[in-house]
């Protein structure tokens, strides 16, 4: 099992898992997840990398600094948390960042705000500005209802009203978004344990409140274009993800200037968990290839 530890960084206490040696590689989870979702990948990556998997602010065993509903948990804050984590761990060399879902937002912001610290990006099913109005196409609106529901001030109280309620809500997304709706069965109670910890439901929901206005602007086509991210980027997108559709890969090159992208056949939203062996192999090939060309 990877080592579990804490550091103080960017004004909060960050929990993380760490194992292995070699070039630093940071793994950033999404919602509804926590750092433990990476454990199978960590074991496979540790022979090649110094693997660090933090709980994001508001998630898992990292601090929930807001005490209730908040709009302060922005991608910029999460990116600064990552920079602070690297400082606290005395990591000065460029790092590889592997990210998914919420983590992919943070990773893209880190790539823009801290480009000098980044060796490359490996992103799964990646929310990106080019999705635009497609978020609210008629056949997709039923998939994103939770993004509004998670912003309501009483949602955490309702979902956390009992262990059964939490299991129904969190379990729905683990089943519905994965290609195999039983892949999380062995760990479902562990996910419920995580989200029933004080503050963890609201901590995750604060992410949705914090990006709500930016998401609305993107859906309306009102966001200003950004310069493409220059860092070498690999995107591996689950073919059967119902909420972040593989067809939305079509204009990724507008966001990433140095891009390799393809589909992960037969996998859903949680590529890293659904097939950790394939995931670890792809990650290892990408980052060892970058070092060989450096």
Q: How many whole angstroms separate alpha carbon 265 and alpha carbon 73?
A: 33
Of 108, 78, 2, whose CA–CA distance to 45 is shortest? 2
Across 21-116, the runs of DSSP E, i.e. the strands, are: 24-28, 50-54, 95-99
Cβ contact 16:52 at 8 Å:
yes
Active site residues: 101, 208, 269
| The two structure tokens encoding residue 23 | 């070039």
Residues 6 or more apart from 114 whose CB is under 8 A from it? 79, 82, 83
Q: Across-strand partners of 185?
A: none
Range list of H helices, 134-265: 145-149, 155-159, 163-177, 188-195, 200-210, 212-219
- Token match 């606290």: residue? 88
């Amino acid at each position: 099992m990877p080592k579990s530890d804490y550091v103080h960084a960017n004004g909060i206490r960050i929990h993380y898992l760490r194992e292995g040696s070699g070039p630093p590689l940071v793994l950033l989870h999404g919602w509804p997840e926590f750092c433990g979702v990476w454990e199978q990948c960590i074991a496979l990556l540790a022979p090649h990398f110094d693997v660090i998997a933090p709980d994001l602010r508001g998630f898992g065993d990292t601090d929930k600094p807001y005490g209730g509903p908040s709009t302060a948990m922005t991608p910029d804050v999460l990116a600064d948390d990552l920079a602070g984590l690297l400082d606290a761990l005395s990591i000065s060399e460029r790092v590889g960042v592997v990210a998914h879902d919420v983590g992919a937002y943070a990773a893209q912001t880190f790539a823009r705000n801290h480009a000098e610290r980044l060796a490359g990006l490996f992103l799964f099913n990646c929310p990106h500005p080019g999705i635009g109005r497609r978020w609210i196409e008629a056949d997709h609106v039923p998939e994103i209802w939770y993004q509004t529901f998670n912003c309501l001030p009483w949602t955490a109280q309702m979902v956390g009203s009992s262990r059964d309620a939490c299991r129904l809500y969190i379990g729905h997304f683990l089943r519905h978004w994965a290609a195999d709706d039983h892949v999380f069965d062995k760990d479902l109670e562990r996910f419920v344990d995580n989200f029933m910890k004080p503050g963890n439901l609201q901590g995750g929901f604060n992410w949705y409140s914090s990006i709500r206005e930016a998401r609305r602007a993107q859906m309306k086509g009102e966001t200003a274009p950004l310069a493409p991210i220059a860092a070498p980027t690999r995107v591996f997108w689950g073919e059967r993800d119902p909420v972040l559709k593989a067809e939305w890969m079509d204009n990724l090159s507008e966001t990433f200037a140095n891009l390799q992208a393809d589909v992960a056949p037969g996998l859903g939203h949680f590529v890293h968990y659904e097939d950790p062996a394939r995931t670890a192999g792809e990650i290892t090939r990408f980052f060892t290839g970058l070092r060989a060309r450096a």
